[in-house]
Structure 1
């Protein structure tokens, strides 16, 4: 039987800390803190709902992060 894969670790980081930052600055900071995938989305974007370990999602309006969540 094949071993069960161990999910990669994700940074111990509070998503709320990115709210209010400029989108590009927030993305650079997230990558510097170890997030492997950073996704910026416009408000109301249609996205898939699968959870991806190590991904940080930003909802960006007028160049500013208004919402942030893991996965």
Structure 2
């Protein structure tokens, strides 16, 4: 039987630290800190809500991160 895969570790980084940053700066910082996927979304965007390890989501309003969350 094949071994059960181990999910990759998630960066120990608080999403709250990205709120207020310019979207481009926040995306660059997130990738530098090890987030494998960074998703920038407009306010009210319809998205799937499945949890993805290593993904950081940004709600971007007027070029700045208004909200950030994992998954």
**TM-score scaled by structure 2?**
0.97
Q: CA deviation at 1:10?
A: 1.0
Aligned equivalents of 2:45, 2:3: Cα separation in 1? 37
**Superposition RMSD in Å:** 0.6
Structure 2: runs of 5 or more not aligned:
none
Q: CA deviation at 1:2?
A: 2.6
Aligned residue for 1:49?
A: 49
**TM-score scaled by structure 1?**
0.97
Aligned residue pair count = 71
Runs of 4+ in 1 over 6 A off after TM superposition: none
Can you list the C-alpha shifts for 1:8-42, whole angstroms capped at 9, x where unaligned? 01100010000000000000000000100000000
Structure 1: runs of 5 or more not aligned:
none
What is the SS of the residue equivalent to 2:17?
Answer: helix
Aligned equivalents of 2:36, 2:70: Cα separation in 1? 11
Aligned residue for 1:38?
A: 38
